Amino acid sequence: MEAARNAREAAPRSPAALSAELSDARLVAACRGGDEQAWGTLVERFSRYVYAIAVQAFRLPQQDAEDVFQEVFARVFERLDTLREDDAVRPWIAQLTRRLCIDRLRAGSREVVADTEELPDGPDEDVLAQLEEAFDVHDALARLSENCRDILDRFFARDESYRAIGDALELPAGTIASRISRCLVKLREEIDPEARPENR
Amino acid sequence: MSGYDIERLSRLIGMLPPAPAAWRRAARELPRARRELDGIVERAEADAEFRRALIADLENALRAEGVEPTTWPLLDELRRRVDVLQPYVALARHDVDHAVGLFTS
């Protein structure tokens, strides 16, 4: 059983995993060349990041966050040609998202408290810093096997129960906890090669 | 990146939940929507009847073109671009005063 599991975890990369291996620079170049599949990959790569900045760091309500989200990707799509360095797409998207969130907060505060000069609260800088780390962790997660990626994402990011994960992945619910634990170890080793047994 | 204990890793994974599927779908469809928008505007510039229909009832004119406005990501932009065409519709109706008003507003 262990061997079968290891074989599954070392299975060939899915299209999602392969796209995760595409560098930001190559992805941007493909999008600029009109590759619509690459555009879809770019949206998937950064959608969580944009969403988290709007909702967690700026605490925008869902409707405002949706407007910001759509505006960010519309501007990225329109202005990809203006990006000076293709591998700087992530800080560019982050900056664009922050600016649009601030605009949204200012517009909201003008409507609500038109008679004061107070600006709304800015972003939570600690959260913004943690989101950068979280993005790097998700990058590393994308390099793991599909099994590990799926199970960790479902449990921690999608908040699914053992039962729901077991049903979705056709795995006994009783094995989910141990799989999560093993996959977390693999993720740590992916991020920090020093943590690998052969390097200890 | 080092010093990641399991608890911290778990928390960081959880910090990036997926954005709602409908938002992502709309963003992924931008290239197609952009082509549709360009086609609609081009036709509106060339076809007075279509231009009038768009200005009179944008949503229904879009539906007639096979575009569902409620989920179409560039509706606001189209609205802005159709607004620009309004003075030309007034001019075509020989409603010069209205056209001048729209041009200068």
pLDDT tens per residue, range B9-61: 999 999 999 999 999 999 999 999 989 989 998 998 888 889 889 888 999 99
Say if B18 is an interface residue toward chain A (CB within 8 Å): yes
Buried b (16+ CB within 10 A) or exposed e, B79-105: eebbeebbbbbbeeeeeeeebeebeee
Output the domain CATH number for residue A93.
Answer: 1.10.1740.10
- End of a domain among A93, A124, A155? A124
Tell me if chain A has a CB within 8 Å of the CB of B74: yes
Answer yes or no: is A39 within a domain. Answer: yes
Cα separation, A161 vs A167, whole angstroms: 10
Residues A116 and A165 reside in one and the same domain: no
Q: Are A19 and A41 in contact (CB under 8 A)?
A: yes
Q: Which comes out higher in pLDDT, residue A186 or B76? A: A186
Phi-psi region of A59 (alpha: psi -120 to 50; beta: other; left: phi over 0): left
Task: Assess whether A152 and A94 both reside in one domain.
Answer: no
Q: Under a CB-based contact definition with an 8 Å cutoff, are residues A71 and A26 in contact? A: no
A positions 39-68 inside 8 Å of B (CB): 39-40, 43-44, 47-52, 56, 66
* Residue ranges making up the domain that contains A190: 144-200
Give how many domains chain B has, as a whole number. Answer: 1
pLDDT greater than 80 at residue A10:
no
- Residues in contact with B41: Cβ distance below 8 Å, sequence separation at least 6, in sequence order: B78, B81, B82
Instruction: Name the domain count of chain A.
Output: 2
B10, B17, B30: which is closest to B71 by C-alpha?
A: B30
| Cβ separation B17–A48 shorter than 8 A | yes
Q: Which of A39, A134, A187 sits opposite B16 (nearest CB)?
A: A134
Q: Is residue B49 part of a domain?
A: yes
The closest CB to that of A43, out of B2, B24, B77, belongs to: B24
**Packing angle of the helix pair A125-142, A36-52 (nearest 10 deg):** 140
Q: What is the pLDDT of residues A67-123, one digit of tens each?
A: 999 999 999 999 999 998 888 999 999 999 999 999 999 887 666 555 555 556 778
CA distance A95 to chain B (A): 18
Model pLDDT, residue A43: 96
Q: Does B31 touch chain A (CB under 8 A)?
A: yes
Is B34 within a domain? Answer: yes
Residue B86 maps to a domain? yes
For residue B53, being part of any structural domain is answered with yes
Cβ-contact B31, A50 below 8 angstroms: no
Range of the domain at B62: 29-104
Distance CA A81, CA A43 (A): 16
